[in-house]
Structure 1
C-alpha cells in the first residue's frame, strides 16, 4: 500500500534507519519536495536525499537502496546524494528537507 504522507515516510525511515546504515551505508536521510511541503498528489514521487559511508558508496548499493525504497513505500522514488547536488539545487533542498 503506497504511503500517503510525510509522517508515514518518516516513521518508516525511523524504523529502518539502522538497517539502511548496515546494509547500504546510508547514514543520513531526508525527504524534500512535494511530500515535505504536504503538496503531494496521487502521482507524486518521493524526493529523498541521502549520504552514504564512503566504503559502501557505489552504484550497486545506491540502486539497490532506491529499489528497496520504491518497493517498501509503494511509490516512485527520486533519490539523490545530497553532497553531490549542484549548489543551486542544494540551496533549494536545504530550505525544505526534513531529516530523520
Structure 2
C-alpha cells in the first residue's frame, strides 16, 4: 500500500521498463492530489500515460490500469495524456510529475 507521492513515484520509476515492455508505455506521470501532496485515505491515484502507437488498445489500457491498481493497492484513475480535453490537459500540465 502506498503512503505518499514519493512511494508512487519510486514505484513508477522502478517499474517503468516493465510497463514499457508489457503494455507499450512510453511516458508516465503522476498528477492530482498525490502529486500535490494533498491525498487523503480515500483518494485515488491519478496517473497519465502515453502508449506506443502500435500498442494503443483497450486491452493494454485496462491491463496497465489493473496492473497499477494491484501493485499500488489503490484505485487508479488512468488517462492517456495526449487525449485529454484541452481544459483537463492544461490543469494536468500544471502539476504532473513525469518519471
User: Could you say which TM-score interval applies, normalised by the shorter chain?
Assistant: over 0.9
Gaps of 5+ in 1: none
Following TM superposition, the consecutive aligned residue runs of length 4 or more in structure 1 with deviations greater than 2 angstroms are none
Counterparts of 1:50-65 in structure 2, within 5 Å, are 50-65=49-64
1:68 counterpart residue number: 67
* CA distance in 2: counterparts of 1:14 and 1:93, whole angstroms: 19
1:98 aligned onto 2:88: no
Q: CA RMSD in A?
A: 0.4
Matches within 5 A, 1:12-23: 12-23=11-22
TM-score with structure 2 setting the length: 0.99
Tell me how far 1:45 sits from its aligned partner.
Answer: 0.1
- Tell me the SS of whatever aligns to 2:69: helix
For the residues of structure 2 that align with 1:35 and 1:20, how far apart are their CA atoms? 20
Query: TM-score, length-normalised on structure 1?
Result: 0.98
Number of aligned residues: 99
CA distance in 2, matches of 1:57, 1:74: 25
